[in-house]
Amino acid sequence: MEVTTMPAWIVKALAIGPGVVVSVVMVGLALAAIPPKAAAPTALALVVLLAAAWHRTCEGGTAAMAVSARRLRPSEREDLAAVLTELCRAGLGPPLVDLRVQRSPVIGALGVGRRTVVISTGLIEAVALDELPTRRAAAVIAHAAVLVSAGLTRSDLVIRSVSTPWRAMRATVRALCRWGVRVPFARAAWKLRAIIVAVAVVQTITGGHLGLALSVAFIGALNYALPVWEHRWWELLVRAGDEGVAHAGLGDHLAAFLRTCPDSDAVRTRLRALAPSGTQRPPLGLVTL
């Protein structure tokens, strides 16, 4: 996993900043297209909603709207009783964090906001059915709780709310791309998009449209840079969470959970990082029969 020397806030700004800017521009254009008598109240309502979403006391309601996360039911809290005990022993459980539930079959947990950790219904079901050991489940939730406690997710709920237009646009584009791969030469055109962008820039410059040329060049560069920035932010979150889980004494259990995940370079890198520093590979020797 690549180590970045940039401060965390710069990496996060590069990863999410473009989406926020595009969303604000899209909302501004939409407000400019409607009558002024309707635009002003709408803009004021949006500002009030965002201010409320940022306030600490409204974080639960914001989580319900932004990530469809609800409170734990009594039966779910019973199923997670042993897991919650492990988290509290590590200093990463309630009331320091507010656990909420999101419907998803995937076993996972997500840290958002100042103190909210969203766990999946798949994780709860796996614990209830004894398919996921208690300490492994605690390690998965602890990873998200570490990020929340470190403040790395402090503004995520507001960011998700502001960047709704950007996320909707990306989802639409991805759906079109999944359909477009069936079109002949679509993959080749995508791989050669840098050449296509360069040709478009040259044509707009020769046509005297310098502003449009700069916009096309910016979008083309962003198309390459944004995935890199997003991946670096993901790496930073994964590394910070893994280190926090290991410090809490649950590193071995997180490693055990990762070994059940599909094998990949990222998983192998995390497993190496989670291995105790004193762990050595057994020496190889010649075996004779």
Least confident of 140-144, 219-223, 253-257: 219-223
pLDDT tens digits for range 54-100:
888 889 888 998 899 999 999 999 999 999 999 999 999 998 899 99
The token pair that represents 226 in the structure block: 């944004």
Measure the CA–CA gap between 88 and 110, rounded to whole angstroms. 18
- Would strands 109-112 and 70-71 be described as parallel, antiparallel, or unpaired? unpaired
pLDDT at 285 over 60: no
DSSP sequence for 180-242: HTTSTTHHHHHHTHHHHHHHHHHHHHHTT-HHHHHHHHHHHHHHHHHHHHHHHHHHHHHHHHH
Query: Which of the two residues, 286 and 175, has the higher pLDDT score?
Result: 175
> For tokens 């939730």, what's the residue?
141
Q: What is the pTM of this model?
A: 0.83
pLDDT tens digits for range 182-216:
666 666 666 677 787 788 888 888 888 877 788 77
